[in-house]
Chain A
Amino acid sequence: MTDVEGDIALKFDVASVRSEFPILGTTVRGVPLCYLDNGATTQKPLCVIETIDSYYKSSNSNIHRGVHHLSQVATELYENARATVRRFINAASDKEIIFTRGTTESINLVASSFGNRFISQGDEILITEMEHHSNIVPWQLLCERTGAILKVANVHPDGTVDIEDFKRLLSTKTKIVSVVHVSNSLGTINPIKDIIDVAHQVGAKVFIDGAQAVAHIEVDVQELDCDFYVFSGHKLYAPTGIGVLYGKEEILNAMPPYQGGGDMILSVSFDKTIYNELPAKFEAGTPHIAGAIGLATAIDYLLGIGIANAAQHEHMLLDYATNAMRGIPQVQLVGTAPNKSAVLSFTLKGIHPHDVGSLLDRDGIAIRAGHLCTQPILRKFGVHAVNRASFAIYNTIEEVDRLIASVQNVIRIFA
């Protein structure tokens, strides 16, 4: 064992982490589940499952609407969850934390609300080639509505953003820069602090898609000085259907509501409706209360482990898996940036990723196979689809060994 592993072992007890996740004890096709599809969604620890269970058993009520006891309890839990999220990303105020359905809805909210108010014909929106479809299509729709132009910065063959190209495309016409913090297909950790700084120099607002980042990297939105930062709960050990939009208060205040309905108003009449204050202005209708509370529990759970410890463990797995894969001649790695998160995309020469995925499934191994909602960047790398293993706090070296053995078997079958 190397010093590094010894060091981690002291701080990080994988077996005890695993025991917190009931699903990891299940079997698939008669063998223990080997779950390596964490980029798609993570599994949920008992504390999160129990939080949701207990909410429905003893605190369920609608929020902000009742004078009765349960409504107060639910409201307090929900607003405490918001405060937990604020602390998690170090936002300046709870008003800057909007609960949404997830990353996708957060992006659409900003593209619609901010976009419709502040973007007009000839303005430019700058993204990169490695964006997830959900950070491409809402901006394309905005461009269609307004006549704005979408600009796309190049990505180098190793999976890093071509910063020179990015700077070349940046101008005073650029009104929005939207960049992924960690790429879901390449694993690249983008230098978002630098990107935010240069974008601000031309007066652009900067939007960061943090879907793949928050479970692995400590995020401080004030230090980053980004204008928007968004993520999904379900990639962070929390339930599906809950996500976050962080926005600077002055910007959110200047934006019109996204959806109309209950809770987002102060008063409604047929002559004039007065919108509610932040954050309620952007939370029309009954939200996913249990999801928000579950998200707060998941955040506390992850902070209890420590994001740096989690990242160190996941990196150890990534390095081990990358080395093993490099030893297999038929493997082509996709995404080899020096600064990577625990995402390992690869193809096997002459074997379609769907065939690999089905054969690995026979061994109880769950990976992602397909275009990963990032068709443009895969096309650039000359592939239609890839296989992706992505690691979380509960994965082990033994699981990586199972992955490698299974991949070698697939190669034998197709030989």
Chain B
Amino acid sequence: MISQSDIRDLYQEVILDHNKSPRNFGKPTEHTHHAEGFNPLCGDHLQMFLNIEDNIIKDVKFEGEGCAISKATASLMTSELKGKTTDEAQHLFDKFLSVVTSDIDSPIDPELGKLSVIAGVREFPVRVKCATLAMHTIKNAINNEGIVSTE
């Protein structure tokens, strides 16, 4: 049997909370950038809507269906990105990707901030796609490339 403490790495309170009440969820009335992301493995589907002015992400919201990991990541990532420049966003994506694809025991870059809770996904390599869907979709929205798939 699993006990709560056994699942410390992945399904911790923060993730469960962001899954239940995702931040920045819903379609904004206006947006400058948009992209759609799919995870064909499970049929997950996200849409990202961004308002970018002078290379600064003024707002970012998402909609869609997904597992706790993809939803919580989208929720945390969108919160983290608001107010950042697109270059800063790219820097965060690089950091995030290198953490979620690193060895289980390697240290977690403090620059990730709240997103560091997602690092538990390292223990479930098949779930890395769930954790990176939001990021890939936002990236494509910024680069004006409409559709992304994490397969």
Q: Answer whether A and B are interacting partners.
A: yes
Which residues of A pack against B, CB within 8 Å? 351-355, 358-359, 361-363, 369-371, 375, 378, 384-385, 405-406, 409, 413-414
CB-CB contacts below 8 Å: B120-150 with A:
124, 127, 130
Q: Which of B1-9, B74-82, B84-92, B101-109 contacts A (4 or more CB under 8 A)?
A: B1-9
Determine the main DSSP class of A at the interface with B. Answer: helix
- A and B contact pairs by CB, cutoff 8 A, 18 listed: A352-B66, A353-B67, A354-B41, A354-B42, A354-B69, A354-B130, A355-B69, A361-B124, A362-B6, A370-B41, A375-B43, A384-B42, A384-B44, A384-B45, A405-B1, A406-B2, A414-B19, A414-B68
User: Complex formed: what's the CA distance from A414 to B17 in Å?
Assistant: 9
Q: Which of B45-61 contact A (CB under 8 A)?
A: 45
Q: Which residues from B are CB-within-8-Å of A354?
A: 41-42, 67, 69, 127, 130
B7 & A362 in contact (Cβ 8 Å cutoff): yes
Tell me if A414 and B16 are in contact (CB < 8 A): yes
Out of A362, A370, A406, A414, name the residue touching B42 (CB < 8 Å). Answer: A370
B25 within 8 A of A: no
How many A-B residue pairs lie within 8 Å, measured between CB atoms? 56
Q: Please measure, in the bound complex, the distance between the C-alpha atom of A414 and the C-alpha atom of B1, giving whole angstroms.
A: 16
Which residues of B does A touch, CB under 8 Å?
1-2, 4, 6-7, 10-11, 16, 19, 41-45, 65-69, 124, 127, 130
Q: A361-B124, A405-B1, A406-B2 are in contact. Are A413 and B67 (CB under 8 A)?
A: no
In the complex formed, the residue of A with least CB distance to B127 is A358
- Cross-chain contact B43 with A385 (CB below 8 angstroms): yes
Residues of A within 8 A of B65 (CB): 384
A252 smallest CB distance to B (angstroms): 35
Q: CA separation between A355 and B65, bound complex, in Å?
A: 13
B1 touches A413 (CB 8 A): no
CB distance from A346 to the nearest CB of B (A): 15
Asked if B43 and A413 sit within 8 Å, CB to CB, the answer is no
Given contacts A371-B42, A384-B43, A413-B11, contact A352 B124 (CB under 8 A): no
Query: A353, B42: Cβ atoms under 8 Å?
Result: yes
Q: Which 7 A-B pairs have the closest CB atoms?
A: A352-B67, A384-B43, A354-B67, A355-B68, A385-B42, A370-B42, A371-B43
Complex: A375 Cα to B16 Cα, angstroms: 27
Given known A-B contacts A362-B7, A385-B42, A413-B16, A406 and B67 have beta carbons under 8 A apart: no
Q: How far is the CB of A118 from chain B (nearest CB, A)?
A: 33
Q: B45 — which chain A residues lie within 8 A by C-beta?
A: 384
With A354-B67, A354-B127: A363-B2 Cβ-Cβ less than 8 Å:
yes
Pick from B1, B10, B43, B66: contact of A358, CB below 8 A. B10
Q: Which of A362, A371, A406 has the most CB of B within 10 A?
A: A362
- A358 and B124 CA atoms in complex are apart in Å by 7
